[in-house]
Every structure is written in structure tokens, then in C-alpha cells.
Amino acid sequence: MQNRVREILSESKLQKTPCRVDVLETLQHAGVALSEADIKNQLHYDYDRATLFRTLRTFLDNNLIHQVLVNKNEVKYALNRPEILGQNQSGHAHFHCDQCGGVFCLGAVSRALLNLPEGFQIKSFEVMFNGLCSQCRNS
């Protein structure tokens, strides 16, 4: 897992600073979208807020992570996983669990489901499904 994180940073030509490795590992391990506070709580070391903010900014700029807006004002961060999201990561749906608050990345939404008027072109979109995740459903 750790090697994969270092590989991702190498591929993006980013220096492997402790904070970057730590944040990527945390997001990878979580498997769900995390808020800045969640990330801070789960990191192995206590980095100052500016360092953490800069790290997230760098990852966003390099397309390693994306933001998810939850409940209209809460920003969460999730890893870009090409294996789930496909090559076109500009649009995919999210699932928000009403019970545990978990936010999961879903795969791409099929264009075939949309009744897009003739001549329209989608550049980006946000889709959020609300419900119960499998863990909450079974408990």
C-alpha cells in the first residue's frame, strides 16, 4: 500500500514529503471521502494547518484527489481511483449514507440514463445519491 502511494507521487512528479505520503495513505486506507478535519485526525503526525492545506491543494491541482460537496457546505476529499472511476474522472456519482455519514465514490453515470436535449454538451455534473450503505443496512 505504501509503495503504491510513493508510486502515485512519482508518477505525478511530486516530491515524497512526509505529509503528502501520510495524507495519500490516509485517503487510500479510508476508502471513503474525508473532510479536512477527518484527515487531520487520522494522520500519523500532526502537521500544521497550512501544510495540510497546501498538500490538499497540490493533490487537487495534480488530479490525485477530488472534492465532494456534502450537505451543501461540507467539503470532503476523495482519492481519484482510475480503476473505479474510469479515465474520464470529471464526472461520477457519489453516495451519501444518511446514517453513518459516509460518502462513497460510485462509478461513472451512464449518459444513456439522461434525456439530454439535442445539441447540449455536458462539461461537468454532480450527482449525490442518499440512502444507507451496506454496513448500516445490515446493522
Q: Is the dihedral of CA 28, 73, 70, 91 positive or negative?
A: negative
- Cell numbers placing 88: 474520464
One character per residue 59-88, x = contact with Zn ion (rule: CB under 5 A): -------------------x----------
What is the nearest approach in angstroms of Zn ion to the Cβ of residue 41? 18
Which of 100, 114, 122, 127 binds Zn ion (CB under 5 A)? It is 100
| Spatial contact of 22 and 45, defined as CB atoms under 8 Å apart | yes
* 99 is a site residue for Zn ion (CB under 5 A): yes
What is the nearest approach in angstroms of Zn ion to the Cβ of residue 133? 3
Reading phi first (left if > 0) and then psi (alpha if -120 to 50, else beta), residue 62 is in alpha
Number of residues lying near Zn ion (CB under 5 A): 8
Residues 4-33 within binding reach of Zn ion (CB under 5 A) = none
Question: Strands of 74-79's sheet, edge to edge?
Answer: 34-35, 74-79, 65-70
> What is the rounded distance in angstroms from the CA atom of residue 50 to the CA atom of residue 28?
22
By the criterion CB under 5 A, which residues form the site for Zn ion?
78, 97, 99-100, 102, 105, 133, 136
